[in-house]
Chains A and B, each alone.
Chain A
Amino acid sequence: CSQFQKALKSEDVKLKYDLAEKLYNEGDYKKANRLLEQIVPQYAGKPQGERVVYFHANAYYQTKEYYLAAYQFDRFSKSYPKSDKAEEAAFLGAKSYYMLSPKYSLDQRETNTAVDKLQLFINTYPDSEYLDEANELVRELRTKLEKKDFEIARQYNRISDYKAAIKSFDNFLSNYPGTPFREDAMYYKMVASYNLAVNSIYSKMQERLSHTRESYNTLKRYFPDTQYSDEAEKMMTVVNKELEQFSK
């Protein structure tokens, strides 16, 4: 440890470089990074600069400092676009943002950045060994973004703002045609439409009931064996009964 302290205080760049590399290879990324921090500026523009920046970025990644890792990988990709490590750096840089992506109910700034970066990686390196993983990560993040919008729409149902719910589910279904929440969204849109209709004033009831019927038909068309069929049928019984009064 005293060797580390000595190197830390030393003016000798080479000494720091050698020890940093040793620590890095031994897996002591935290200590390695404290030295790398100091020498990265000195090596800028020098042949060893490439190695140093890569070590620096990856050491941040290994110590779960993802914001810093993402930044350093970005720098690496910009400074050394022709490096052998460029592909790996691009992937790890994007994955750092994936790691930063918070749960669906918070702001998704990092998620969006991660999707963009991963997509850029997939387009740039279509033959990469990381391609499968990158695709998987993108899928996971997209699902998260979909879940966010789906839950926001569903909350309008919960707080009985059925109009807002219908509009939100409509937007959701047109924004994410391939979403795994498609069936749920269609069903909950029907629930919103149903609640709006049965609690409606008389003059608007007929129109709203027929909207419910349309949502039901859409659900059945795309998901004939929907898991919600019992509940949907129950609602339709009420809708049909209510609609009778208008057909007389």
Chain B
Amino acid sequence: QEIKFDKGKKYILGGIEVTGVKSYNTQTVITYSGLRVGQEITVPGEQITNVIKKLWKLELFSDVTFYIDRVEDDKIFLELHIQEVPTLSSVKIEGLKKKKGEAVLKEADIKKGKRVTESFITNTRNFLVNKYKKQGFLHARASITPIPDTSAVNAVKMLVSINKGDKVKVKDITFDGNEALKDKTLRKAMKNTKRKVFGRFWKKSKFIPEDYKEDLTSLIDKYKEKGYRDARIISDTVIDNKTNKISINIDLEEGDKYYFGKIDFVGNTVYSDRQLASVLGIEPGDTYNGVLLRKRIQDNTKPDGEDITNLYQNNGYLFSSINPVEISAKNDTIDFEIRIIEGKLAYFNDVRVSGNDKTNDHVIYREMRTRPGQKYSKENVIRTIRELGGLGYFDQEAVVPDIKNANPDAGTVDIEYGLTEKGSSQIELQGGYGGGGFIGTLGLSFSNFAIKDLFNKKAYKPVPMGDGQTLALRLQASRFYQTYSFSFSEPWLGGKKPTQFSASLSHSRQFYYDWRTGRPDKSQRFYITSLTFGLAKRLEVPDDYFTLSHALSFQYYDLENYNIGLFGFGSSGYAKNIAYTIALSRDNRFPKLIYPRTGSRFTISARVTPPYSLFDGVDYGNLENEEEFWEKDDDGNVVYDDDNQPVADVQKIEQEKIKWLEFYKIKFDGEWYNRLVGDLVLKTSANFGYLGAYNQDRGVVPFERFFLGGDGMANYTLDSRETIQLRGYPNQSLSPNIGSTIYNKFSMELRYPLTLKPSASIYGLVFAEGGAAFDSFKNYNPFQLKRSAGFGLRIFMPAFGLLGIDFGHGFDSIDGTGQKNGWETHFIIGQQF
């Protein structure tokens, strides 16, 4: 039926008839089309085209056609013919085991309800074949057969048949035409395609076409590195033996060996030829090496490498471009001209961050090394990324700098750092058995707290956050001891300078454990209360890796009938301790956490108390001669011994000496990191500590002492004792019960990482160390070391912190019996590293 109509004439839409529908409601199709009966419509015209496009876009139809049904006066009646794409009703997979098959279907996104179009079938087949080729199944085949499903409307079943074939291994790789480089060197250059050799287990022999192509490129790169810049592959043949083995034959043409000739710099005004040449590091007469030349100009593998591009980029020349040009090749010598366009100096204009949904601007902007008006520097951009990542509030891998609006004429550039907030609060709630009873721990730690919002109800989502402060609360209790602690720190006190303020308050109580009844005896107890304020300031001179810190602390020890030989004095009494600590440290380890490769960290500190004995007028050496310190009986009469001498009350004398603790403590800790080869790192460390008394009559205090030996885990720190790690010996075995007053320790550790992924870092280590602790300076002999060596493993996972195990062998005896200590196993949990 032919109906005449005027081209592009306007009609009123009189009606639409939808034909060809199978599963859809005709009304729904009309609604999708957006056409309404009664509307004005131009036929033919753009409106119709748009409707067709719109319907196509739904990907539900394999055919969309409009027909004119009839025209009555100014009314037009249209027919919309569609053909629906069938949907997938069920899938059967052949050639794979059930579980595997289901996984593959999921991976290929084949599921019920999918629209089965031609392209879907083709793409899926290609996906499946490639998947297996990538795994080394060179002969993998897949077929997909749609079968109409009569049980449902417009549906198909699909039969997916996969034939993986055998895994193909490379039997042999032969080279023809190579004289300068040996077969062995060439095979090594092919990183991914390897011959099948018995006994080589770390790199399997597979043939994966994509990797093979890449290997051919690296083969030529190998030649280029050796001066053969014309080297090429004439042909490469993969001989399929129709078994599961193939042979590869590569025919090469090496060409001549070339050398660098003259290298001229053109266009440089900022740096002299000599400066550039020294960065380039290539002398005339060197073997031609295109790869090296490229790397020295711009090393894409190292964003902070020392190349010419970075020399310019780090000093404001964002718009610079550097191009090496071969200007002549005479015989075997190639002359180069390195053409430099320096461009205008670029300055940062707008510097912003985005993505900080929790952390306030001021916490971020103060850490940035790129500021508005500053000269552009790639190095500073990289450092900013590191520092922002290092704050701990953002995903370290997801700090993305976006350099925008670079304007070479004005010499300005904007930068925006994209951040992704990550959870930085921890809640610890645990219970367990230990020390003869149930131990419960409740810990709350917020590392991005905002204390100013403490009383702002709206800010609790779920806690006030975003000011970069740390707040931690920890309660731990069992029947025998309880610890309560609270700490707070603000990294930028006052917001002007990075001066860290910290405060902590803690209280612990321990009760005597009665072994016979298994109950705590509350009449025998030891309480410690401690309050500390600290300030740490990053210095600018001599360099900004230095930190100077001060701390003022007060401790109160209260013993009641608590006689376990922990301290040198009696079982009841008290001690008060006001101490001031000053420490200077420098830390330029990189990277700072988990696995430092270079740099060092050292700290020298002094902890001192006021010298009370200078002005309190007490003659501590003569206390036993004073009546006040004589033992008295219940009636208050002085007790005399057999020689008619008054008996001194030892406990009272000891108490007098520790009423206010008086001591000074000097410590040095140093560690150095050196990268030996690749990721192999040597950590060398030296530690020294000395606790002394101003007044020898008063003696060295029983607190604050050093305990050497074992894993070094400080699980008992409230009395300011210091546990020093020395592996290969039992915990604290190298110090007497009451602790040492002087120690030194030297250690060497070789580390090698197994993986350094953000989700888990694992490294292995071997160590050799030695240390010694003494009870006085008189007996001190820095060379009388207790030696040990061993090996271990560390695992760092952000969720758990650090876990480790070390096996150490102690070569010396603990008590001087001449028998070496032998093997010890140490578990290391969450230690400073």
Contacts and interface: CB of A to CB of B under 8 A. Distances in A.
Given A105-B466, A164-B373, A171 B349 contact: yes
Contact of A171 (B31, B350, B356): B350
A160 B357 CA distance: 26
Nearest to A156: B371
Contact of A45 (B32, B359, B361, B495): B32
Interface in A24-62: 44-46
B371 A158 contact: no
B389 interface: no
Interface string B346-361: 0001100111111111
A151 interface: yes
A102 B357 contact: yes
A208 B11 CA distance: 75
B467 to A, nearest CB: 9
Interface string B329-367: 000000000000000000001100111111111100110
B373 A158 contact: no
A148 B352 CA distance: 11
Contact of A167 (B32, B354, B373, B497): B373
Contact of B495 (A44, A148, A159): A159
Given A46-B27, A106-B360, A163 B366 contact: no
Contacts of B32: 45
Interface of A is mostly: helix
Interface string A161-174: 10110111001000
A163 B495 contact: no
Given A161-B371, A164-B374, A167-B373, A152 B361 contact: yes
Nearest to A166: B373
A160 B495 CA distance: 10
B516 interface: no
Given A164-B372, A164-B373, A159 B366 contact: yes
B374 A163 contact: yes
A49 to B, nearest CB: 8
B28 interface: yes
A105 B359 CA distance: 8
A141 B522 CA distance: 63
A40 to B, nearest CB: 14
Contacts, number: 67
A105 B371 CA distance: 18
A106 B466 contact: yes
A45 B31 contact: yes
A214 interface: no
Q: Which of B349, B357, B365 has the most CB of A within 10 A?
A: B365
A107 B357 contact: yes
A197 to B, nearest CB: 15
B496 interface: yes
Interface string A105-148: 11101000000000000000000000000000000000000001
Q: Which of A46, A107, A109 has the most CB of B within 10 A?
A: A107
Given A45-B27, A46-B27, A158-B495, A164 B371 contact: yes
A10 interface: no
Contacts of A109: 354
A106 B466 CA distance: 9
A183 to B, nearest CB: 21
Interface string B364-384: 011000011110000000000
Contact of B31 (A46, A105, A107, A151): A46
A151 B362 contact: yes
A155 interface: yes
Contact of B371 (A104, A163, A171): A163
Contact of A155 (B350, B358, B362): B362
B355 A167 contact: no
A126 B550 CA distance: 64
Given A46-B27, A106-B466, A148 B373 contact: no
A46 B26 CA distance: 11
A45 B31 CA distance: 5
A161 B372 CA distance: 10
Interface string B490-529: 0000011100000000000000000000000000000000
Nearest to A108: B354
Contact of B356 (A106, A158, A166): A106
B28 A105 contact: no
A212 B536 CA distance: 35
Given A45-B27, A45-B32, A106 B357 contact: yes
B354 A105 contact: no
B354 A107 contact: yes
Nearest to B30: A45
Given A45-B28, A164-B372, A158 B496 contact: yes
Q: Which of A46, A102, A105, A171 has the most CB of B within 10 A?
A: A105
9 contacts: A46-B27, A106-B358, A107-B354, A107-B355, A155-B495, A163-B374, A164-B373, A167-B349, A171-B349
Given A107-B356, A163-B373, 16 more contacts: A44-B28, A105-B360, A105-B362, A106-B358, A107-B354, A107-B355, A109-B354, A151-B361, A155-B365, A155-B495, A158-B495, A159-B366, A163-B371, A164-B374, A167-B349, A167-B372
CB-based closest 4 A-B pairs: A167-B373, A164-B371, A45-B31, A167-B372
